[in-house]
Structure 1
Amino acid sequence: MLDIRRIYLEPAAAELPRGQEILARFPGAELIEVESHHRIPELYGDETNVSRWVRIKTESLVLGIKKSLTARPNGRSSDFIAPSTANGCAMACAYCYVPRRKGYSNPITVFANIDKILGYLERHAGRQGVKPEPDQVDPRDWVYDIGENSDCSVDATISGNVRDLVDLFGRLPNAKASFATKYVNRDLLSWDPRGGTRVRFSLMPAADSKLLDIRTSPVADRIEAINDFVAAGYEVHVNFSPVVVREGWLDDWAELLTHLDDALSPEARAQLAAEIIFLTHNDRLHEVNLGWHPKAEEVLWRPDLQQPKRSQTGGWNVRYRTGHKGRYVAALTDLISARLPYCNIRYAF
């Protein structure tokens, strides 16, 4: 997945222990100093990069300092979005929203000031005290999403940031980490999460994944890993996302749910919960995809099924039409309730 040949780095990041650790891991890489990790013209905002989309993800790494430390309220997947310890991704899912923000490529950026991030999170969790009552996020803990802009399973192949986070939340009495992933990294099974980390394996029918989940672990491998992660001390949920409406979509979801039901151990079933997120697409990402993966747009860009809404960044997001979408959501949630009656559906939209 990674063949790092160039590391763009902020000099201050290279001076920190985590930065030095990452540089030592890739001793043959060309080092290119930059003023800011998010202002690198040859990576971001250059439309000619679309033809080198996957190559840039494979060969480039950015090493920076996370300057703004804020835990933003969430309320769906988590109570808070933790400050990022990385952003970008080595994978190339055709529906990913991150390229909309970073331009025509989004290789992994790792933040070296992990100690400051850990300290901030521990103090923030301490200020929350005991969670006053159960909610759909968690019945007991304050949950922090640690992977909003990256895939933590892949990030863990580059640095110790993710392990440090798992260790932190393993000892916090009132807080839990959470991240969604499409990559099976079995190195995580040797860690000791002590129930303090929720892993959300993203699942979709195999036909959709083959077309849209570029450079990810096969869906069958993600399902196979669930029991092992539960046995290793992780809480494991599933993330049915994005749900793409197309001919035969519900039949393919029924097949996926049967596969999942057959694979789960009693322990995995007892703690299973799901999030369901139907596809939201974007006109700018649509244009990007036409330059490297136009086949995906045949199912992602469906004006006959979708309605536009102006995004906060000035573009247009598209989602399934009001009224129709409600029927799609009901059809899938009814199917899940029938096939996986033990699975708590935390939310669906």
Structure 2
Amino acid sequence: MEDLLDRPAPSPILRLLEVSRIYTEPAVEEYARGREVLARYPDAERIHVPSHWNIPTLYGNEGNVDDWVKIKRTVLVLGVKKGLAMRPNGRSADFIAPSTSNGCAMACAYCYVPRRKGFANPISVFVNIEQICRAIARHATKQGPKTAPDQIDPAAWVYDLGENGDLSVDALVSDNVRDMVATFRDLPNAKGSFATKYVNRDLLGYDPQERTRVRFSLMPAHVARVVDVRTSPIADRIAAIDDFVRAGYEVHLNFSPVIVYDGWEADWRALFEEVDARLSRQAREQMRCEIIFLTHNANLHEVNLGWHPKAEDLLWRPDLQQWKRSESGQWNLRYKVADKRRYLERFQQILAEVMPYCEVRYAF
């Protein structure tokens, strides 16, 4: 019998993605990017579907909860992005750019995307990347110069690129992210921006020239080990900050989601101290952050109970939370308003004590 200790450890990519089934829209192979991605996985089963949103065996199938992580690792969806409009934002970014993907190979227990899809949330990659990049460039050109600084950026229009996924992981599948970084490199009045929980060092070679903002999401490590499933360890994300700054990225931090539990304040102070000890002067001078407290959802709670109930001990706290209807019409759970205001004040106080140079761009 083969000694298990003699087996080589799987690569990080294989632990995250081992694609064996690809759902494709009819037009995918008409695009060079579609053909490139299919060529990366020559042995994967291909299933043609009318739409990347219309896959009954994948989405809305409650039985898929049992295979939640397996589906994320082994299934890929390829489609064509239809809507190319920019949506105003005004919070983390000026505009939400058309997504180059939807879904994720990671499995964060609080992620809002599976609330919409239902019971499965693998990566969907959109192959019409040239159209998406041209749409962004046209829109930025029409905006002209940004005439007044604001909380988002002092001089550039900022476009959020990864609203429904994680671009650092998407870059394992296709060159879409490389193309997006190159697009913003040539736009003097605009920046791209995306949040990530995965350290993909291939991005260090993309030459962003400070026109792409990477927001590393951080939380206390012992909490991340429960709720940030299949992501890079917190220590690895912190260690990557200086490398990405040196590579030409603007690097900010997302303290997200902030989860309230006994001892949460001390844990965040310890995290801030760890970050502060690792940052170079160059990283500190350009550092900004966002603070986002947890929002949960009853449907996602039920999904999580089917595959990762331990996470719900942290996320589902009706004693601390209240119902609130979202802009999309769903009923979500957020911390009670008066309590959340107090939590946020305390969070910002601790941050200012440990990292006074880290300006808060946005807090929610």
Normalising by structure 1, we get a TM-score of: 0.99
Partner SS state of residue 229, structure 2: coil
How many Å apart are 1:315 and its aligned residue?
Answer: 3.6
CA distance in 1 between counterparts of 2:307 and 2:241 reads 32
Q: Matched residues, percent identical? A: 63
> Which structure 2 residues correspond to residues 16-165 of structure 1 after superposition, within 5 A?
16-165=31-180
Residue 286 of structure 1 corresponds to 301
Partner SS state of residue 38, structure 1: coil
Residue 244 of structure 2 corresponds to 229
Cα deviation, 1:107-136, whole Å, max 9, x if unaligned, reads: 000001111111111100000000010000
CA distance in 2 between counterparts of 1:253 and 1:278 reads 13
Partner SS state of residue 138, structure 1: coil
Cα deviation, 1:135-193, whole Å, max 9, x if unaligned, reads: 00000000000000010000001001000000010110100000000000000111110
Q: Against the structure 1 CA distance between its residues 346 and 313, is the aligned structure 2 distance closer, same or farther, given a 3 Å change threshold?
A: closer
Partner SS state of residue 244, structure 2: helix
Confirm or deny: 8 A CA contact 1:283 1:315 kept in the other structure: no
Normalising by structure 2, we get a TM-score of: 0.95
Cα deviation, 1:274-309, whole Å, max 9, x if unaligned, reads: 000000000000010010111111110101100011
Partner SS state of residue 281, structure 1: strand
CA distance in 2 between counterparts of 1:190 and 1:235 reads 14
Paired residue for 1:171, among 186, 193, 204? Answer: 186
How many Å apart are 1:311 and its aligned residue?
Answer: 3.4
Residue 360 of structure 2 corresponds to 345
Partner SS state of residue 19, structure 1: helix
> Runs of 4 or more off by more than 6 Å in structure 1?
none
Partner SS state of residue 119, structure 2: coil
Partner SS state of residue 27, structure 2: helix
Instruction: Please tell me the residue identity of whatever aligns with 1:134.
Output: P
Confirm or deny: 8 A CA contact 1:284 1:315 kept in the other structure: no
CA distance in 1 between counterparts of 2:329 and 2:352 reads 38
Gaps of 5+ in 2: 1-15
Gaps of 5+ in 1: none
Partner SS state of residue 76, structure 1: coil
CA distance in 1 between counterparts of 2:325 and 2:30 reads 42
> Which structure 2 residues correspond to residues 263-302 of structure 1 after superposition, within 5 A?
263-302=278-317
Residue 325 of structure 1 corresponds to 340
How many Å apart are 1:310 and its aligned residue?
Answer: 2.7
How many Å apart are 1:313 and its aligned residue?
Answer: 4.7
Partner SS state of residue 360, structure 2: strand
Confirm or deny: 8 A CA contact 1:199 1:234 kept in the other structure: yes
